[in-house]
Every structure is written in C-alpha cells, then in structure tokens.
Structure 1
Amino acid sequence: MTTANRIFLLDFEKPLYELETRINQIRELAQENNVDVSDQIRQLEARAVQLRQEIFSSLSPAQRLQLARHPRRPSTLDYIQAISDEWMELHGDRGGYDDPALVGGIGRLGGRPVVMLGHQKGRDTKDNVARNFGMASPGGYRKAMRLMEHANRFGMPILTFIDTPGAWAGVDAEKLGQGEAIAYNLREMFRLDVPIICTVIGEGGSGGALGIGVGDRILMLEQAVYTVATPEACAAILWKDAAKAPQAATALRITAWDLKDLGILDQLVPEPLGSAHSDPLTAAATLKAALLQNLEDLSRLSPKERRELRYQKFRHIGVFTELHA
C-alpha cells in the first residue's frame, strides 16, 4: 500500500498495515545505527506476504463490498487514463444537461479507436457530492446512449465501466424520466452492431448498473460486486433492519465468484493481492489485457453474430427450475 492509500483503512487491513509500519520502522532504525537486520527484515516481509494472502483469500461478501466501495479504489477515469493511448472526454446529452456522475468519450485502446464510458465516483466528500456519489441522472444515461450511437455509427467498439450504488432516485430524476432513460438504453444496446464489453470495476448496483450493462461480454474485477439492490436496502426491506446487511450480502450472492458460478459473468479479472487500490497500475494493466483479448475475439464475429450472441446471453440469465411434488 502507498502512503495515500493508508489514509483510509478497513478493519481487516489494519493488521497488515501495522506489520508493514513495523518493518519500515526497523529498517529506518537499522540504517540510522548502521546495524545489519536483513535476516529479520526478510522474515517479517515473508510474514507480511503470508498475512496479506490469508486476509484477502478469505474475505466475506460484506468485506468484498467494503473493498468495492473503498474511496481509494481506481475509478472509471483512472482506468481510462491508465489504459488508453489517447482520450478525449465528450459532454452533454444534447437535451440540456451534462451529468458528471456518468462520463464518456473517445479514445484509443491498443491503437484502436473506441468509445469508453462509465460511472464516476468522487475521491472525497466534496468530489462525491459533485459527482452525486456515482449515481447517474436520466441525462447521464441519455449522454451514454448518445455516445454509444456515435460509436455504432463510426464502427468503434464500446467499453463501459460500471461503478454505482444505483441510479439517482431523487424526485427530480423521476420527473425527468429515470426509468424511461434506463429502459431505452437496455433496448437500444441490444441492437448496436459494434462489440460491447461491460466491466464492473467497483460497485454494480441495480438498474443504475444495467443502464450501461448490456454487452457481448461481461467482465468483473475480482473484488467488485454486482447486485439487484444494495445489501443495506435488501436488509431494510426483508428484515426492517439495515444492520443485517452482511447477512443480505451473503444471501444475494454479489461477488464475482458467485456471478461466475451463476453464469452471468464471462470473465473474472484478477486484482493485485491487496485489491486494486493497493496497486492501481497493475490492476489497470491486467484489465487492459483482458479488454484487448475480448475485443480481438469479438472482432472476428459479424455484427449479426454479435447481436445474436448478446441476445442469447441475456435470455439465459435468470433461468429457474420448477419442482413438482
């Protein structure tokens, strides 16, 4: 972890931080007093690696949710800037509004022109308020659709990055047609000819995630979550007690591993040990490689084949079995 990332620590990260701090203190004291403690340092570093492995290999769904919401977790713009050769953000829904909670534009990935868009959370309270905590308005989804139609017109693949607790649920959002804007995107994304790859990079919540989540391939970072409703909302609805959110997180099966088992996810993208916020550049490089490989695979298909693949993929999500006595 870098110094900046240590400003905010989750409870299960604290033992690792304390051990790493101890290692640094011993190293500094040894240098000041010209003492060789290399053997002790190696032992402690090996213990740190082991502890990191133990912590991050046995996380509960609720703890993975905490990582997905980590304020230092790389955002859509972080990934775009790290993986793209060129990037130009485009603004406005051409209806009078430019939503800062959903960003997008044109860039190059591996030398190939693409349209990239996604939810954008803030880094601190002020930035989060400006970005509405990544909860997009109807104007945001209309802006996203405008960019996707532009991509389709000029034959550019579409890459979406999902990271939102849900669409903005304010009264004004309803007045401006939040449900219609998301439903329109869901319908229209199925008809687009170009490759579409959707990646859940953090928190994928409810219809707010689905509004840019219809694609040929669904990717998900290892510590991201994807759910029909936040565990807090689920607990409040089912048990009238938001404190039971950890129980709801387990029941909802929100983790990348769960969704891979359910057949909803096409590819689970591994994160650096310690999560993406501990090594953002490595996380971005891994994601870029996955996107390039999937783009190459999808480019071999015709537009008709891609549309049929997309349609069949979502038709097979949510299959159930009836048991008769």
Structure 2
Amino acid sequence: MRTYLDFEKPLAELEGQIDELRALEGDEQLGVNDEITKLEEKAGKLLNTTYANLSRWQKTQVARHQHRPHFRDYTDRLTTDFTPLAGDRAFGEDAAILGGPARLRGRPVMLIGHEKGTDTQSRIAHNFGMARPEGYRKAIRLVDMAERFGLPVVTLVDTPGAYPGLGAEERGQAEAIASSTAKFLGARVPIVSVIVGEGGSGGAVALAAGNRVLMLEHSVYSVISPEGCASILWKDAQGKGENKAPDAAESMRISAQDLLALGVIDEVVEEPEGGAHRDPAAMVEALGDAIVNALDALGGLSGEDLVAARREKFLKIGRQGLNG
C-alpha cells in the first residue's frame, strides 16, 4: 500500500480514482479504459510538477519516507558476499551502524552505513539509525581493516543524528564521533560517501568525510534537523504556536542542490520520478552506477594522494565558509 506525504494529497486523490476505475476495468460495457488513460496522464504530469518544485521542507519529508531504500536494501540488491561484522571490541554492538566487506558489482569494498529499520520492531532494534559511541568505534575498526587489506570504503549515510542519550554521553559520544571523522580523513584508501536519506549533524559527518561525497536528489544534509533549529531559534520544539521547521529548512539550505552549489558535496544522484520510495529497484541501480564511477575516478591515486586530496577538500569548505 502506497503511503502519501501531506503535499501529495492531490496526487493521492487522482491515483485513488485510478485504482477505483481499474477495479472496473474488466467490464467492457462501462468503457473505463479511456478515462484511466486520461487520469494516468494527469497524475504523471502532477507527479512530475510536484517533485520538480519541492521546497526544502518537502525534501526533508521525502528523505524521511518510510519506504525509501535503506542500508539493507542496498546491500541485498547491490552487493554479493556482504559479511556484517559486529562490535567495537571495547563495549558492545550497535545496530544503528552496519558494515563489513562485500563485493559491489564484483569489486571488493568495505561497506558501512546507517540502518533505520523498516517497521516498528526493526526501527527500535536499529534505534532509528541513531548510533551510539560503539557504532562509530565499530566504523573505525572497519576502516582500519579496509586499510589493512587495501579495500575502498563506501558509506551510506541516513541518520537524524547521533543518539543523545545519557548512556551514549557517558561512553564518550563526542569523542567517538570526532575519532571516526579523523579516521576517515586520514584513511589511505579511497572513500566514497553517499547521503541516501537524512544526513544529520556530526552523526552523519562521522561517516561522510570521504574523497567523494554524493547525495541522492531528494536527500538532506545539515548541522541540525529543521525541528531542532526551530526549537532553538523560535522555541517551537513541541509545535507550540506557528511551526517554524519549514522556515528553518529554507534558511539552512539543506538540499542536495544547495550543497552542490556550495561545494559541500560533489554530485547529485537523480532519483526515480516521484522519489526513491516509488521505485527502490531503479534507485539502487542508479546509485550503484554512481558509486562505481566515483571509485573508478579514485582508483589511480596513491594513499598519500588520497589523504591530501581529502584534506584539501574539507579545508576548502572551511575557507569558503570564512570568506562567504
């Protein structure tokens, strides 16, 4: 069953009419085929127009769509021989970040990413993609392993942010995020990072300090969620008064298109019409092509060159921020 977002209500009505007519399609006397064709054309145009003009807040809603492909969807459809490795060798396992060696279209890689889960039970198990310190320390361990065996690293980022709970803070959440970011910056293997849904705060950056940073067309990447920003600037945490989250999203310029223009990311990967959630299989294939192309572009660089290029990439972002 298709789930519609608030701004898709006109589209939901049209597609609902189409479904009702299709139930009568076998009765030739009713002559509904022509009407179905007309409605499908109208719905197609509306879908195209709607998704070509999404606001930044609407893109945030699309990035969070429950049927958007998640980490396990990509591993299942894009890789073979994926072997998930567990634990940080210090405290325990964190299910919000998964990772391990795999073959991505035949080439060996170290694949790491956030997993949000697909239903209530799995979302709780994966803590809604919000990692604790042991998740980031596991990522460090996997990058160490990738360096040891000369494997390129591919990360798929999809998190509202790192888990802010008391236990996580007691176990060194800030240090774990900083150490993970530093490890990615200094790794002597190619790193391709992709924001596939939400890229929230340091919890995203910790897995996204790559040589190439890609974003799906309707994903978002920001230092704080629009709701978090609104709660700080307008005291709107519980929706009291006017909801300012859409205003915050616009002000922060969190879309893939914004960040490409700002030089924060390197490429925007187009999504199927109507978003990745409408055609997950096509999205997986398109992302696979983009990752392979990015890895090919990095294939001839030495470890020293990869580290130097990565360092310059992020220093350049900082310089632009100071100058702009």
Q: Does the alignment reach a TM-score above 0.5?
A: yes
Distance 2:10 2:321 in 1: 43
1:123 shift after superposition: 1.8
User: 1:151 matched to which residue of 2?
Assistant: 146
- Please point out which of 156, 162, 165 is paired with 2:157: 162
Q: Please state whether the residue corresponding to 1:316 is helix, strand or coil.
A: helix
Identical positions, percent? 47
User: 2:281 matched to which residue of 1?
Assistant: 281
Distance 1:173 1:103 in 2: 18
The answer to whether the aligner puts 1:198 opposite 2:193 as a matched pair is yes
1:171 shift after superposition: 1.2
TM-score normalised to structure 2 length: 0.94
Distance 2:183 2:146 in 1: 13
Q: Label 1:322 to 1:107 Cα distance change in 2 as closer, same or farther (>3 A).
A: closer
User: 1:237 matched to which residue of 2?
Assistant: 232
The answer to whether the aligner puts 1:316 opposite 2:316 as a matched pair is yes
Distance 1:313 1:160 in 2: 17
User: Greater CA deviation, 182-191 or 288-297?
Assistant: 182-191
For residues 99-248 of structure 1, the aligned pairs below 5 Å read 99-242=94-237, 243-248=243-248
1:55 shift after superposition: 1.1
- Equivalent pairs counted in the alignment come to 318
Contact 2:25 2:33 in 1 (8 A): no
Matched letter for residue 235 of structure 2: K
User: 2:49 matched to which residue of 1?
Assistant: 54
Ranges in structure 2 where 5+ consecutive residues have no aligned partner: 238-242
Q: Please state whether the residue corresponding to 2:162 is helix, strand or coil.
A: coil
User: 2:253 matched to which residue of 1?
Assistant: 253
Q: Label 1:322 to 1:59 Cα distance change in 2 as closer, same or farther (>3 A).
A: closer
- Please point out which of 43, 60, 66 is paired with 1:65: 60
User: 1:94 matched to which residue of 2?
Assistant: 89
Q: Please state whether the residue corresponding to 2:118 is helix, strand or coil.
A: coil
Q: Please state whether the residue corresponding to 2:22 is helix, strand or coil.
A: helix
Q: Label 1:231 to 1:151 Cα distance change in 2 as closer, same or farther (>3 A).
A: same
1:86 shift after superposition: 2.5
Distance 1:108 1:322 in 2: 42
Q: Please state whether the residue corresponding to 2:286 is helix, strand or coil.
A: helix
Distance 1:216 1:28 in 2: 51
1:40 shift after superposition: 2.7
Distance 1:138 1:321 in 2: 31
Q: Please state whether the residue corresponding to 2:110 is helix, strand or coil.
A: strand
RMSD: 1.5
Matched letter for residue 294 of structure 1: A
User: 1:44 matched to which residue of 2?
Assistant: 39
Matched letter for residue 299 of structure 2: S
Distance 2:291 2:76 in 1: 15
Q: For residues 251-305 of structure 1, what are the alpha-carbon distances to aligned partners after superposition, in whole Å with 9 as ceiling and x for unaligned?
A: 0000001001101110100000111111000000000000001111100222222
1:231 shift after superposition: 0.8
Matched letter for residue 303 of structure 1: G
User: 1:297 matched to which residue of 2?
Assistant: 297
Distance 2:323 2:316 in 1: 16
